[in-house]
């Protein structure tokens, strides 16, 4: 069901890009929007993992440096019939983790030093199972595409605003150029907001799905429930130096320095809702 919701939202986001580009800049805007989306998606497909790892300060670790992390990852990867991801450790005190990579064969999982120090074996297993589920379900690729489409819509809207300011729209040829009118003005204002909300909806759906799949991979939800409770408590007290573009990757949205509020504009569902959904799960042995 969550996969169907995600597919629907991605389709809606693509239609918004196409219709928004046409309304704001006519056929040329539609064509340019599609080309922009393809180029940006290609960049996200091949380079988003390298960017995320580099910007987080993650460093690769060997089995000797992180034996506990390797043991848990190897056991769960074998259980899920997945290739062994590359493992990284992030030098941050706040407990957290993320997975990245365009497919299971090119996946990486990064955990903070705080996560490895503070989590029990069951809690660490729950966190790693969650991240492996993102890999297994191609969630990193899905959310990267959603973010790219939303970014393309916002970019086109920005260009449309500049065109209106400098008289790029209007006149007798506005039908061919997509010029002006209430429809274009409506899209300029609402399309970027709608795109952002759809993108956030996709991200939240994938978090719920990874929680459920991770619990099924382990065989019970209790380790992940305990981990989420602990992650929420520590991440509300210990800020992380994380770029806003990468914060959506983490299992729990990091508290960044200067952050004031979260809510409807968060990439993650409320922790209380995620924990409640896990408590309601029934996993057949």
Which residues are designated catalytic? Answer: 131
Cβ neighbours of residue 226 under 8 Å, at least 6 residues apart?
120, 122, 123, 126
CA separation for the pair 174, 110 (Å, rounded): 51
Q: Which pair of structure tokens corresponds to residue 162? A: 């500049």
- Helices 121-136 and 139-165: crossing angle in degrees, nearest 10, is 60
Helix (H) or strand (E) holding 89: strand 86-90
DSSP string across 191-247: HHHHHHHHHHHHHHHHHHHHHHHHHHHHT-SHHHHHHHHHHHHHHTTS-----TTTG
DSSP secondary structure code for residue 256 in this structure: -
CA separation for the pair 18, 11 (Å, rounded): 11
Q: Are strands 108-112 and 86-90 parallel, antiparallel or unpaired?
A: parallel
**Do the beta carbons of residue 85 and residue 106 sit within 8 Å?**
no
């Amino acid at each position: 069901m969550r996969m169907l919701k995600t597919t629907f939202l991605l389709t809606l986001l693509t239609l918004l890009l196409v219709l928004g580009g046409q309304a704001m800049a006519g056929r040329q805007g539609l064509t340019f929007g599609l080309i922009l989306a393809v180029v940006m998606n290609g960049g996200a497909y091949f380079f988003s993992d390298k960017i995320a790892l580099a910007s987080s300060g993650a460093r690769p670790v060997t089995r000797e440096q992180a034996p506990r992390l390797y043991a848990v990852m190897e056991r769960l990867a074998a259980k899920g019939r997945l290739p062994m991801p590359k493992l990284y450790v992030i030098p941050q005190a706040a407990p957290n983790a993320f997975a990245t990579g365009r497919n299971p064969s090119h996946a990486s999982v990064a955990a903070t030093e705080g996560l490895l120090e503070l989590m029990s074996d069951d809690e660490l297993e729950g966190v790693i199972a969650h991240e492996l589920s993102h890999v297994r379900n191609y969630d990193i690729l899905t959310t990267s595409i959603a973010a790219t489409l939303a970014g393309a819509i916002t970019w086109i809207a920005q260009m449309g605003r500049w065109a209106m300011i400098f008289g790029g729209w209007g006149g007798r040829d506005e039908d061919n150029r997509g010029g002006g009118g209430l429809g274009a003005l409506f899209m300029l204002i609402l399309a970027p907001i709608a795109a952002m909300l759809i993108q956030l909806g996709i991200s939240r759906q994938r978090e719920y799905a990874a929680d459920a799949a991770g619990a099924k991979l382990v065989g019970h939800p209790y380790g992940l429930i305990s981990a989420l409770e602990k992650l929420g408590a520590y991440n509300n007290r210990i800020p992380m130096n994380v770029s806003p573009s990468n914060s959506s990757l983490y299992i729990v949205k990091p508290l960044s320095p200067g952050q004031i509020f979260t809510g409807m504009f968060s990439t993650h569902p409320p922790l209380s809702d995620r924990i409640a959904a896990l408590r309601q799960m029934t996993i057949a042995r």
